[in-house]
């Protein structure tokens, strides 16, 4: 983790899925774009987004009631709904 933190301190920004690395980047002040799929209470970006001033969360609600995660019956429509253009638009804020 120390190596990741040192690396992220040198980055202009990070684009990441919902994972621990995004939290490390945000903790050392690196701008972060975090891509989330789940929307369930307790699993959504409302609770689990990285904390920081320069954090952008990309998340789409596609109507799932229960997230089955790796057993997704909707072929990860929540993640597929986030376009490359949206990610690039968020990244432009940090460039």
For residue range 4-51, list pLDDT tens digits in order.
999 999 999 999 998 999 999 999 999 999 999 877 777 788 888 999
User: Nearest 5°: CA angle at 53, between 30 and 18?
Assistant: 65
Q: How confident is the model at residue 73 (pLDDT cuts 50, 70, 90)?
A: confident
Please report the pLDDT score of residue 83 as a whole number. Answer: 96
* Pair 11, 32: CB distance under 8 Å: no
* Pair 45, 18: CB distance under 8 Å: yes
Please report the pLDDT score of residue 22 as a whole number. Answer: 96
Residue 65 reports pLDDT greater than 90: no
Please report the pLDDT score of residue 46 as a whole number. Answer: 83
Question: Tokens for 50?
Answer: 């990285």
**8 burial type by CB count under 10 A (0-12 exposed, 13-18 middle, 19+ buried):** buried
End-to-end CA distance of the chain: 25
Token pair 């490390």 is found at 24
Q: Provide the whole-model pTM.
A: 0.86
């Amino acid at each position: 983790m120390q190596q990741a933190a040192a690396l992220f301190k040198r980055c202009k920004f990070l684009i990441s899925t919902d994972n621990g690395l995004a939290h490390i980047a945000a903790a050392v002040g690196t701008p972060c774009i975090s891509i989330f799929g789940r929307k369930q209470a307790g699993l959504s970006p409302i609770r689990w987004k990285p904390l920081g001033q320069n954090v952008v969360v990309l998340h789409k609600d596609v109507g799932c009631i229960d997230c089955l995660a790796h057993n997704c019956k909707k072929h990860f429509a929540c993640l597929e709904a986030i376009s490359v253009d949206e990610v690039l638009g968020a990244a432009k804020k940090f460039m």
